[in-house]
Structure 1
Amino acid sequence: MTTDRPQWDPHQYQRHSGHRARPLHDLLARVPPLPTPRGPRIADLGCGPGRPSLLLAERWPTARITGYDNSEDMLEEAREYAGPTPGGGALDFALADIAAWRAEEPHDLIVSNAALQWLPGHAGRFPQWVAGLKPGGVLAFQVPGNFGAPSHRLLAELTRSPRWRARLGDLLRDGDTVLSPAGYFAALAPLGCSLDVWETTYLHPLPGEDPVLDWVKGTALRPVLTALRGDEEARAAFLAEYRDALREAYPPGTHGTLFPFRRIFVVAQRR
């Protein structure tokens, strides 16, 4: 097992940016008015390559927004968007481990888009994050809820197969890294929050050859690709086995390859 963090590829991640951005649009649509109408303070935990943070600036044009990520590769892309925003706000980015992040000033909104699934035990951070909100402030996040889907199940099975388990068997996150919708409700309700919790399964029609493999190369497959970097023979062999399994699980159709993707959404407003 490698102890390295996943090595991220911003360009690969953004290859399906339209589909990846839709859950963030849906999440932000449910965020209630923030306590500071002009110039709200916003943190974006796990900001990635920066484009998702631009959606925050569009929704709250005067906001002071800081995006945090632990990947310098992602932040190198994100910093292209740093600076004053058209509405009179400001956007900047900083290197940080969200497992240890805390608000240094009261925030109007703490948002996280498809990042907390990489943080085991992230519900244990909720008390400190909620405490970092102004009264009426909001913690809003969405996480994938598809650990039982073929894309993730087949990947886990392959890493634990006789050929790969010595090298990769303990590498992947368990499905219980992400709570159920009811689990998130139970974790946040005692913290004095009004809650809006729901789930959605998106049906993404993906074009091209082996599009599901191309999708997971940007996300779930990153720990494996990181562990096998520098060993091109092993990398090619693993990808070939995984590709063949995905082709059977997600056969192409007339209108592309259909890729169902379940996500869990939480909007928690501090009373």
Structure 2
Amino acid sequence: MESSKSPPSANVFGGFWGFLRRCLFYVLTLGPMPTHVAFIMDGNRRFTRIRKMETGAGHRAGLTSLMSALQYCYEMGITYVTVYAFSIDNFRRKPEEVEHVMNLMLEKLENLLEEESLVTKYGVRVNFWGNLRMLSEPVRLAIEKAMAATSANTGPVLSVCVAYTSTAEITHAVEESCRERLKAVQEGRSSVATLSVKDVERSLYTAGCPDPDVVIRTSGETRLSNFLLWQTSITHLQNPSVLWPGFSIRHLVWSILEYQRAQPYLEKRKRFNF
């Protein structure tokens, strides 16, 4: 009978690599660290085409890269991570591609709460932001289950933007704010009928979450593509040329170093609000 245990050499290498990683992250954390890192995971389809892989293989490889990036972020003490998983506009892609992404999401959601998962290990609270009514019922129910099961967790916060665009989020926030303001006026709780910026911010999906310190978009693209437009007025934008499935620890470490270089300037802008 074959043993399911890893060979000793693999265990030794894994332990040594873990030690080196902890040393590296310790040195990094001596400088200013971001509280909130957001990822636009761009390049999965190009990765598939370049390597002539079957449809959806790039998205599966990208999911592996995401799990590694999340682990590294949590090991560095980064409290909030947000990922742009699926735009409303992505529903216009080929039906078989959309179906594959949804099935992959459902598969991962079903594994999310397992004992060995990152969510369980680090006590992660999981949010999903977007128009979840656009998703199939199995995916929507799995999302609701994941959010309910992790709602009391006190560790890092993972927010997944799915069926999302920033303009849809802002529109939703304004509509919700108008309803609340109108109700308050009708009930005599307020005599002010106009909205304030704070009213809208309270109704954003991101309410209660700090704005991103860093947005990393892979594949070299320099567009935000309708992602967190309200929340990124003073955010360090980075555009590494690597496709998302190839995003690794060296790219993340370089991104943190770039943020640390820019952090004094960003803090100055925040302080004086310009």
TM-score over 0.5 (shorter chain): no
Bigger Rg, structure 1 or 2: 2
The alignment's TM-score, normalised by the length of structure 2, stands at 0.30
The alignment's TM-score, normalised by the length of structure 1, stands at 0.30
